[in-house]
Structure 1
Amino acid sequence: MKSILYLHAGSEMYGADKILLEIVTGIDKSQFHPIVVLPSEGILAQNMRESGIEVYIIDYPILRRKYFNLKGILEYTKQYKNKSGLIYKLVKDRNITTIHVNTAAVLEGIYLKNKLNAKLLWHIHEIIVRPKLINYFLSFLIGKFSDQIIVVSKAVKNHLIATNLVKEEKVTVLYNGVELNTLVPKDYEYLTKEFKVAQDTIKVGMIGRINAWKGQTDFLTAINPILANNSKVKAFIIGGVFEGEEWRRDDLIQKINKSPQKNQIELLDFRSDTKALFRFFDIFVLPSTNPDPLPTVVLEAMAAAKPVVGYGHGGITEMVVDNYNGILATPNNPSDLSMTIKELVDNPEERVLYGTRSLDRQRELYSVDVFIRNIEDIYNK
Structure 2
Amino acid sequence: MKNNKVLVLHSSSDLYGASNSVVRSLMALRHVGLEPMLLLSETGPLSQKVEALGIEVRILRLGVIRRKYFNLLGLLNRKYYILRASLKIRRIIEKESFQLVLTNTTVIFSGAFAAKLAGVKHIWHVRETITGPAFFKNFITYLLNKTGHTNFFVSNASRDNYLPKIQAEKTQVIYNGIEYSKFVDNAYDLKHELGISQDKILISMVARVNLLKGQKYFLEIAKLLLLKNKNLHFILAGDTFPGYEYLLEELQEYIVSNNLVHNIKDLGFRSDVYNIMGGSDIFVLPSIQHDSLPTTILEAMAAAKPVIATALGGSTEMVVNGETGFLIPHDDAKVAAEKIQELIDNPELRSQMGLKGQERLKQYFSIDAYLENFGKAVLEVINQ
Normalised by the length of structure 1, the TM-score is: 0.95
1:27 partner SS: helix
Aligned mates of 2:186, 2:325 — CA distance in 1? 26
Output aligned runs, 1:322-341, within 5 Å: 322-341=321-340
- What amino acid is aligned across from residue 273 of structure 1 in structure 2? D
Equivalents in 2 of 1:121, 1:315: separation in Å? 21
Aligned to 1:175: 175
Q: Counterpart amino acid of 2:219?
A: L
Aligned to 1:195: 194
User: In structure 2, what is the equivalent of residue 64 of structure 1?
Assistant: 66
Map 1:114-129 to 2 at 5 A: 114-129=116-131
Q: CA–CA distance in 1 between the matches of 2:202 and 2:304?
A: 14
Query: What is the distance in 1 between the residues matched to 2:331 and 2:69?
Result: 28
2:319–2:325 Cα contact (<8 Å) kept: yes
SS at match of 1:200: coil
Q: Which residue identity does 2:312 align to in structure 1?
A: H
Superposed displacement of residue 361, structure 1: 0.4
- Give the direction of change, closer, same or farther, for the CA distance of 1:292–1:29 in structure 2 (3 Å limit): closer
Question: Which one of the candidate residues 147, 156, 159 is aligned to 1:157?
Answer: 159
Partner of 1:252: 251
The answer to whether 1:47 aligns with 2:46 is no
The number of aligned residues is 378
Q: How far did residue 185 of structure 1 move?
A: 6.9
In structure 2, relative to structure 1, the CA distance for the partners of 1:107 and 1:94 (3 Å cut) is same
Q: Which moved more, 1:79-88 or 1:355-364?
A: 79-88
* Distance in 2, Cα, partners of 1:116 & 1:37: 17
Residue of structure 1 aligned with 2:13, choices 11, 14, 23: 11
Deviation at 1:187, TM superposition (A): 6.4
Q: CA separation in 2, counterparts of 1:111 and 1:319?
A: 34
Are 1:2 and 1:97, in contact at CA under 8 Å, matched by a contact in 2? yes
- TM-superposed CA distance for 1:74, in Å, is 1.6
Identity, in percent, stands at: 32
Per-residue Cα deviation, 1:235-270 (whole angstroms, up to 9, x for no partner): 011111111111111000000011223201011211
In structure 1, what is the equivalent of residue 147 of structure 2?
A: 145
Q: Deviations over 1:53-98 (max 9, x none)?
A: 1001112211112222221222111111212222333443222111
Per-residue CA deviations over 1:166-205 (Å, capped at 9, x if unaligned) read 110101011110112445777623x333211222221100
Q: CA deviation at 1:112?
A: 1.5
Distance verdict in 2 for CA 1:370–1:186, change over 3 Å: closer
Root mean square deviation, CA, Å: 1.6
> Which residue is 1:229 aligned to?
228
Greater relative contact order (Cα < 8 A, sep 6+): 2
Instruction: Give yes or no for the alignment of 1:134 onto 2:136.
Output: yes
Task: Tell me whether 1:343 sits opposite 2:345 in the alignment.
Answer: no
Residue deviations 1:24-59 (CA, integer Å, cap 9, x gap): 134335710010000111111111111111001112
Q: Is 1:38 the counterpart of 2:54 in the alignment?
A: no
The whole-number CA distance in structure 1 between the counterparts of 2:44 and 2:321 is 37
Structure 1 position 118, deviation (Å): 1.6
Specify the code of the residue in structure 2 equivalent to 1:78: Y
Report the 3-state secondary structure (helix = DSSP H, G, I; strand = E; otherwise coil) of the residue aligned with 1:218.
helix
For residues 131-176 of structure 1, what are the alpha-carbon distances to aligned partners after superposition, in whole Å with 9 as ceiling and x for unaligned? 11111111111111100000011111110114x1x11010101111
Alpha-carbon deviations, 1:85-141, whole Å to 9, x = none? 223334432221111100010101222212332211100111112211111111111
Change (3 A) 1:182 1:83: closer
2-structure distance, mates of 1:355, 1:185: 12
Which moves more between the two structures, 243-252 or 74-83?
74-83
Unaligned residue ranges in structure 1 (runs of 5+): none
Q: 1:323 to 1:184 in 2, by over 3 A?
A: closer
Contact 2:283 2:305 in 1 (8 A): yes
- SS of 2:96 mapped into structure 1: coil
C-alpha contact 1:310 1:337 (8 A) present in aligned 2: no
Kept in 2: contact 1:96–1:116 (CA 8 A) = no
Alignment of structure 1 residues 297-336 onto 2, 5 Å: 297-336=296-335
Q: How much has 1:323 moved relative to structure 2?
A: 0.4
Contact 1:113 1:120 survives alignment (8 Å)? yes
Counterpart for residue 283 of structure 1: 282
- Return the alpha-carbon distance in structure 2 between the equivalents of residues 83 and 142 of structure 1: 19
The SS at the match of 2:270 is coil
Query: Greater shift after overlay, 148-157 or 226-235?
Result: 226-235
Mapped contact 1:179–1:303 kept (Cα < 8 A): no
- Tell me if the contact between 1:5 and 1:99 (Cα under 8 Å) persists in the aligned partners: yes
CA distance in 2, matches of 1:354, 1:170: 37
Q: What corresponds to 2:267 in structure 1?
A: 268
After alignment, is 39-48 or 329-338 more displaced? 329-338
Gaps of 5+ in 2: none
